[in-house]
Structure formats: structure tokens, C-alpha cells
Chain A
Amino acid sequence: EDQVTQSPEALRLQEGESSSLNCSYTVSGLRGLFWYRQDPGKGPEFLFTLYSAGEEKEKERLKATLTKKESFLHITAPKPEDSATYLCAPMNTGFQKLVFGTGTRLLVSP
């Protein structure tokens, strides 16, 4: 069965304090690894898709990386507006469904 574990569950940072979020996954065959951001009371907002180990993608202060077992979301010099829950979700090659972790709740204080 496909499984996803995200850590830490919650992370509190000062503005400008860089850090990384971890996503460990187990799937029989990886079609893609997706990162989303979710604000309270809203739907997930698409950030990145990674398809193969070694791939990296960047968007503003965020950079996502992928290995065969894990993905990392690096946040460089975060701002308060980066506060949200970050979700990762692998997709199995045999299916079209996303398997979500429970997310990392990020709070960035000014």
C-alpha cells in the first residue's frame, strides 16, 4: 500500500530563518511527486511536480528536490505570507490518484 509521512508536523520559523520540510514515501512505482500549499479554509494550491530522482524545481523562496525515497521542500528566507500547511502527494504509476500526507503546518513570525 502506498504510504506518505511528512515531518515535522509543525514548524515555527522567524522571518528569514531558512529550513526544510521532509516527505518520505513508499509507492510501488512513482509516476510523480506533487507539492501543494493549503491555507486555512481553502483548497490545496499546486506548487511543483517532480518526476525523477535528482530533479529540482524552484519557485520564489521554495525549492523542491526528489530522491528515490524522499522529497524535500526547502524554504529560503521565509516571509510571514509563506505560513500555510504544505502537503506532499506521490502518484502511483498504476493510478491517477494522489496519496496525501497529513502535511507540515508552517508558521513564519515577523
Chain B
Amino acid sequence: NAGVMQNPRHLVRRRGQEARLRCSPMKGHSHVYWYRQLPEEGLKFMVYLQKENIIDESGMPKERFSAEFPKEGPSILRIQQVVRGDSAAYFCASSPPQATDTQYFGPGTRLTVL
């Protein structure tokens, strides 16, 4: 059973460009979470999604950031007009519908903004 998959693993963008990060949950998992880890800081919750629904986006910056989890395909975290402060590791986690507490993490996408 493949784990949570994220791509790309590394992404380099120039200031003002868009970054699109993808997350495929574990097979059978219908809940997806996004966390951000800034250098020398702990992981911070960003958003919690179920298929076609945003359940909790209390950790998402108000501007430039958006997330979706469509009926078909991976979850996408989109960052518009990136700035240097967006440089971080972005982790996706998933959990199954019958046990929503335990979250299993992917390997992360490391975003570097030049």
C-alpha cells in the first residue's frame, strides 16, 4: 500500500510566480491536511479538506494561498505571487474515513523562492 505521495519534491520559483503543490493521499483515505514547516520552526497546520469540501482553513494565510481536493485527482495547494517568506517545506497528510484522528504524512515539497 503506497503511502502519501507529494510532488514535486523540490520546487524553485522566482518572486511573483505561482507554485502548485500536489498531494495524493493513501489509498482509501478521504481526508487531507496541509502543514507548513518554516526553517527552525515546528509544523503549522494550514488547511483540512475532504473530497470537494474545505473543512477548516483557519491556518491558511488570507491572501495568495488556496487549496482544493477535487472529486477526482490529487489535492492541490496553490500559492500565487510567491514571496521569499513562502520558502518552506510543505507537508501533506491523510487519514481514513473510519479513523480520522491518525494522520499519515507524505515526504513533503521543499519550496525555494529566489
Chain A residues with a Cβ under 8 A of chain B = 4, 31-32, 34, 36, 42-46, 49, 87, 89, 91, 95-103
- A/B pair count, beta carbons within 8 Å: 55
Spell out B's residues near A (CB within 8 Å): 4, 31, 33, 35, 41-45, 48, 55-56, 58-59, 91, 100-108
Query: Do B105 and A43 touch (CB < 8 A)?
Result: yes
CB pair B108 A42 closer than 8 Å: yes
The answer to whether B105 touches A49, judged by C-beta atoms less than 8 angstroms apart, is no
Q: Find out whether the CB atom of B101 lies under 8 angstroms from the CB atom of A31.
A: yes
Determine how close the nearest CB of chain B comes to the CB of A12; give it in whole angstroms. Answer: 19
Supply 18 further A-B pairs (C-beta < 8 A) apart from A43-B4, A96-B33, A100-B44.
A43-B91, A43-B106, A43-B107, A43-B108, A44-B43, A45-B105, A46-B102, A46-B103, A89-B43, A95-B56, A97-B45, A97-B56, A97-B58, A97-B59, A98-B33, A98-B45, A100-B42, A103-B42
CB-based contact A96/B55 at 8 Å: yes
User: Inside 8 A of B43's CB, which chain A residues have their CB?
Assistant: 44, 87, 89, 98, 100
CB of A105, distance to nearest CB on chain B (Å): 11
How many Å from the CB of A18 to the closest CB on chain B?
26
